[in-house]
């Protein structure tokens, strides 16, 4: 099979090749997720299968001439090469899950279409990230832990009009010795792939994907959040009562830490199973370093519950950045016609997931963490 020929002048012509198993949401920009059943095959998502969420074309970067620009505390601009970042700052590794705010938007679109990317349950993945601590770089740039405000990031990815991707995080998170924010040049023990920000990206454990800026060009610190579209006019949560006619973006905080989440990766929706042993699998995660303490699974739509077995890296309290995979071994009695499988997770603050999607639906289609439901039919043995 011939690869598609690039259109002349196509800004996406230089995008990298991708794994054929990915379920593509949009090709340009490239937005794709792994199929559910591959998502929980590995605790660390293979980088090729890790969900891709690009807002713009993937920039072509020469690592030899690449420079990170950091506005320092005295208003000067530091210019750091990749070599500087690797040599002058200790390398730190963090296993962290990244989730797009739009994960599971398809379930919201099914209620009322938001006309935005219809992510399934796969806009979430986990990797071991390696890089310099943002904190160390900020200290090198003359900032003090007692400083305040926000740390803004700009990417090398550009709109045709020159607008670059941007986002910010609170200075306190950036500077927290236990916040584990990285300027990552490594993903799962290898050089960062182009789709994930080569040669350098921000990894902000516990915080929505949108702040984990890829192809990092510039860092600055100031009293206000990033002025970018993506910080100011997107990635915020609204009431189901808010419409495009009534929305006031200044009224909702930019999403940072994400709420407790879980989903069923096996069996697949509408699968046909047989009576007898059934394995139900999924993932569970919570933002802000909260750990997952329990996952409840129901086979009857939420009437009765079972406690799933959790697996995954043990991380320190308040620094549980990575998901837990879970599994339930159940017996499906003969004569069963269908199962309505439901999961819900509980985190270390004992926050739980809301039951239904409708009451948390919002115009941006973000933050869907309602119970995940999968119906399957049961055939003859």
Spatial distance between the Cα atoms of 243 and 112, rounded to a whole number of angstroms: 12
Q: For the CB of residue 99, give the shortest distance to Mo ion in the complex, in Å.
A: 8
Tokens describing residue 164 = 């670059």
Among 49, 58, 70, 100, binds Mo ion (CB under 5 A): 100
Q: Which residues bind its own copies (CB under 8 A)?
A: 170, 172, 237, 239-242, 252-253, 255-260, 287-288, 293-294, 296, 302, 304-307, 317-318, 344, 346, 348-356, 358-360, 367, 369
Distances (CA, A) of 79 to 87, 98, 219, 361: 14, 28, 11, 44
Q: Which of 311, 317, 326 is nearest to 291 (CA)?
A: 317
Q: Determine which residue in the list 137, 210, 217, 260 makes contact with Mo ion, applying CB under 5 A.
A: 210
In the complex with Mo ion, the residue whose CB is nearer, 133 or 214, is 214
CB 52 to its own copies: min, Å: 24
Beta-carbon count within 10 A of 68 CB: 20
CB-based closest residue to Mo ion: 100
Stretch that binds Mo ion, among 94-102, 108-116, 216-224, 326-334 (CB under 5 A): 94-102
Q: Which is nearer to its own copies, 192 or 345 (CB)?
A: 345
Run of H or E residues at 375: strand 372-378
- For residue 332, give the DSSP letter: E
Round to whole Å and give the CA distance between 97 and 122: 12
Kindly tell me which of 120 and 259 has the beta carbon lying closer to its own copies.
259
Instruction: State yes or no: residue 203 binds Mo ion (CB under 5 A).
Output: no
Cα–Cα nearest to 278, from 268, 288, 287:
268
CB under 5 to 8 A by kind: which of Mo ion, its own copies, none does 369 bind? its own copies
Task: Spell out where 159-271 has E strands.
Answer: 164-170, 182-187, 190-191, 201-203, 216-222, 261-266
Nearer to its own copies, 276 or 359 (CB): 359
Which residue number, 102 or 289, has a Cβ lying nearer to Mo ion?
102
What are residue 263's phi and psi, to 5 degrees? -155, 160
d(CA 296, CA 212): 30
Q: How far is the CB of 304 from its own copies (least distance, A)?
A: 7
Task: State the Cα–Cα distance between residues 103 and 147, nearest whole angstrom.
Answer: 34
- Letters for 101-130 (x = contact with Mo ion by CB under 5 A, - = none) are x-----------------------------
210 binds, among Mo ion, its own copies, none (CB under 5 to 8 A by kind): Mo ion
**Residue 133 or 344 having the CB closest to its own copies:** 344
Which of Mo ion, its own copies, none lies near 98, with the C-beta cut-off 5 to 8 A by kind? none
| Shortest reach from residue 344's CB to its own copies, in Å | 7
Are 262 and 344 contacting, i.e. CB atoms less than 8 angstroms apart? yes
Residue 68 binds which entry of Mo ion, its own copies, none, with Cβ cut-offs from 5 to 8 Å by kind?
Answer: none
**Between 266 and 296, whose beta carbon lies closer to its own copies?**
296
CB atoms within 10 A of CB 376: 22
- Spell out the residues 6+ positions from residue 250 whose beta carbon is closer than 8 angstroms to its own: none
- Residue 213 within binding range of Mo ion, rule CB under 5 A: no
Cβ proximity to Mo ion, 101 vs 200, nearer residue: 101
Q: What is the chain's alpha carbon radius of gyration, rounded to the nearest angstrom?
A: 21
Using CA atoms, how far residue 222 sits from 79, 226, 358, in Å, is 19, 9, 38
Q: Between residue 300 and residue 329, which ones bind Mo ion under the rule CB under 5 A?
A: none
- Chain residues that interact with Mo ion, rule: CB under 5 A: 100-101, 209-210
């Amino acid at each position: 099979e011939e690869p598609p020929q690039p259109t002349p002048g196509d800004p996406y012509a230089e995008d990298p090749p991708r794994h054929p198993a990915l379920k593509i949401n949009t090709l340009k920009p490239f937005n794709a997720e792994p199929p559910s059943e591959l998502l929980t095959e590995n605790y660390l998502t293979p980088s090729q299968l890790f969900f891709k969420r690009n807002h713009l074309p993937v920039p072509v970067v020469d690592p030899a001439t690449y420079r990170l620009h950091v506005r320092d505390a005295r208003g000067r601009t530091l210019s750091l090469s990749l070599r500087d970042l690797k040599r002058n700052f200790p390398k730190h590794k963090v296993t962290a899950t990244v989730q797009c705010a739009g994960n599971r938007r398809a379930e919201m679109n099914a209620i009322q279409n938001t006309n935005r990317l219809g992510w399934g349950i796969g806009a979430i993945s986990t990797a071991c990230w390696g890089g310099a601590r943002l904190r160390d770089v900020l200290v090198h740039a003359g900032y003090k832990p007692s400083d305040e405000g926000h740390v803004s990031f700009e990417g090398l990815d550009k709109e045709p009009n020159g607008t670059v991707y941007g986002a910010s995080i609170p200075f306190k998170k950036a500077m927290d010795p236990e916040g584990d924010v990285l300027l990552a040049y490594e993903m799962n023990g290898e050089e960062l792939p182009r789709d994930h920000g080569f040669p350098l990206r921000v990894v902000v454990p516990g915080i929505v994907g949108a702040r984990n800026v890829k192809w990092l060009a510039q860092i600055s610190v100031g009293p206000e959040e990033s002025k970018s579209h993506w910080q100011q006019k997107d990635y915020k949560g609204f009431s189901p009562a808010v419409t495009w006619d009534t929305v006031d973006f200044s009224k909702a905080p930019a999403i940072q830490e994400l709420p407790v989440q879980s989903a069923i990766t096996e069996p697949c929706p509408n699968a046909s199973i047989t009576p007898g042993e059934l394995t139900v699998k999924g993932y569970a995660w919570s933002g802000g370093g909260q750990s997952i303490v329990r996952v409840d699974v129901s086979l009857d739509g939420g009437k009765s519950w079972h406690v799933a077995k959790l697996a995954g890296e043990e991380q320190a309290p308040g620094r549980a950045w990575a998901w837990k995979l879970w599994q339930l071994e159940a017996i499906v009695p003969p004569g069963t016609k269908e199962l309505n499988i439901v999961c819900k997770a509980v985190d270390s603050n004992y926050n739980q997931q809301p039951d239904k999607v409708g009451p948390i639906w919002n115009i941006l289609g973000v933050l869907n963490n309602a119970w995940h439901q999968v119906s399957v039919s049961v055939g003859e043995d």
